Amino acid sequence: MTAADTTPIPPSPRHAPGATTAPQTLRDAPPPGPGGDWGPPPPGPQDQPRGPGAVLAGGAQPATLEAVALSAWFGKRKVLERCSLRMEAQKVTALIGPSGCGKSTFLRILNRMHEVVPSAQIAGRVELDGVDIYGGSLSTTAVRTKIGMVFQKPNPFPAMTIGQNVLAGLKLSGTKSGVDLPALVEECLTKAGLWNEVKDRLNEGGQTLSGGQQQRLCIARALAVRPQVLLMDEPCSALDPISTRVVEETIVELADDITIVIVTHNMQQAARVSTQCAFFLVEDQGKPGRIIEAGDTRVMFEAPTDPRTFDYVTGRFG
């Protein structure tokens, strides 16, 4: 199919015994739940069955993230209009669409990272298992420890070693639980598919790694604070095909444990890793971005209802 499928991958030694087992062929991702994940959300987000090994050692449980009628402005310019999307627990939701359609903004709103831009404003709600993350009950920092994020460009902390990078989240968020730190480092690096490559050099700087390794280090770093949801903003766009493949495998494995939302420009990637998909589009120049269609990835790619979705996923534009 694609080159990456036939490229021999060096035997990946990262599947340590005891690690969660995952579908090896990416296309074999488990079929999504009852058709029509999209639409009015079914009541009660807690009725998701949880697979074996889904609960992390630290006790964080996968949660459903739901955006309700989300609009966003930068200053006076409206960039998103009434976007509603349900991101199911233990699934990978891909946000696709051409550049500038608001997918990254949408993603950043999901863990309040848009607040870094002072002129950003939003309307609507984002609920994590029914709790509004913009309500008074959760602080910004608490939201971000529950909903982690991996960025487009790998950004390990240059003043820290590899090991310190993994644990940086604990120190930065001030969660000093009495956990076994070396074990946590190993667990997170294993989950991120990096342990075997770096286990002998944990005391080296994070920037001595290659780009793909750095990105997996960033994933490990995000996992160490035991988030319930992991947001990924084009995590592979700066990586070569082999690193991309490894990161994608990691994503599919992680989906057993946590909810993943991924923004991608790469249609094949969306098809390979996601179980649900949402298509964003700016319909006219100057208008805010909207969700045109969302639902089961297979349906979105094979039989989309909206012609614009069809054009986009088949490469007619964008």
Partner 1 sequence: MTLLQFRPPPSTEDPESDTPNRRRPVTKADVMEAGYAALAAVVGAGLLRVVFGWTGVMGTAVTAYLLFLVAFYLLQRDGASDESAIDRLVTVAIWSAGCMVVALLVWMLGFLLIKGLPDLRPSFFTEDLKGHGPLNPGGGARAAIIGTFEQVGLATLVVVPIAVMTAIYLHELKGRLARPTRFIIDAMSGLPSIVAGLLVFTVWVESHGFSGVSGSAALVVLMLPTVTRTSEEILRTIPDSLREASLALGAPQWRVIVRVVLPTALAGLVTAVILGIARAVGETAPMLLTAFGSNNTNVNILHGPQSDLPLFAYSLIRLPSKAQNDRAWTGALVLVILVLVLFVTARLVSNLSQRKLGRGR
Which residues of this chain interact with partner 1, rule CB under 8 A? 111, 113, 116, 141-145, 148-149, 151, 153, 155, 157-161, 168-169, 171-175, 204-208, 218, 221-222, 225
CB closer to partner 1 out of 74 and 151: 151
Closest approach, Cβ 59 to partner 1, in A, equals 16
Let me know: does 280 contact 286? Beta carbons within 8 Å. Answer: no
Let me know: does 64 contact 88? Beta carbons within 8 Å. Answer: yes
Closest approach, Cβ 302 to partner 1, in A, equals 34
Distances (CA, A) of 85 to 64, 236, 279, 280, 294: 11, 23, 11, 11, 8
Closest approach, Cβ 155 to partner 1, in A, equals 4
Let me know: does 203 contact 163? Beta carbons within 8 Å. Answer: yes
Closest approach, Cβ 242 to partner 1, in A, equals 23
Beta strands in the chain (DSSP E): 65-74, 77-87, 92-96, 120-128, 131-132, 147-150, 229-233, 259-263, 276-282, 289-296
CB closer to partner 1 out of 132 and 311: 132
CB closer to partner 1 out of 144 and 272: 144
CB closer to partner 1 out of 84 and 215: 215
CB closer to partner 1 out of 4 and 168: 168
Report the candidate in 241, 111, 131, 130 with the shortest Cα–Cα distance to residue 173: 111
Let me know: does 29 contact 277? Beta carbons within 8 Å. Answer: no
Closest approach, Cβ 118 to partner 1, in A, equals 9
Phi, psi angle pair for 31, to nearest 5°: -60, 145
Rounded to the nearest angstrom, the gap between the alpha carbon of residue 22 and the centroid of all alpha carbons in its chain is 17
CB closer to partner 1 out of 103 and 221: 221
Closest approach, Cβ 125 to partner 1, in A, equals 21
